[in-house]
Amino acid sequence: MFQADAHGRTFADVIERAPDALREVIDVIARPDAQLRMFDAEAHQERPAFSGAAVDIERCPAVQKILEGRDKLFRDRFKRAAGTAVRIVMEGLGAVKTGHKSAVGVGQHFRTAERYGLP
């Protein structure tokens, strides 16, 4: 689904260089419990959906390696790809982008993320 998305395709470098880390992100946000937390973050906590999955994503071994690595440009690129994956899931749940970002508020590496309007 990520590669089929118009914006997801723009992260071909991330897909090629860090397929395991991207798979870990997708595996986390595909879980029903993570999706519920993402939805609840928007609906009840007034935080970005990413907040509901950020800690679990940061715990993934391949993701940790990138987030703690020295390549800042790739690290930032990876974080944007993770945000795109969250958008794909949220839109699949009926949410729409608001065009606004706010603080994630949890975890160590993801600072801001898109806010979503819920159905």
Each domain of the chain, given as residue ranges in start order, spans 8-117
| Dist CA 94 CA 106 (whole Å) | 24
Per-residue pLDDT of the chain (119 residues; tens, 9 = 90+): 899 999 999 999 999 999 999 999 999 999 999 999 999 999 999 999 999 999 999 999 999 999 999 999 999 999 999 999 999 999 999 999 999 999 999 999 999 999 999 98
Question: CB–CB of 12/68 below 8 Å?
Answer: no
> Is residue 113 within a helix (H) or strand (E), and if so which, with residue range?
strand 112-117
The encoded tokens of residue 118 equal: 């819920």
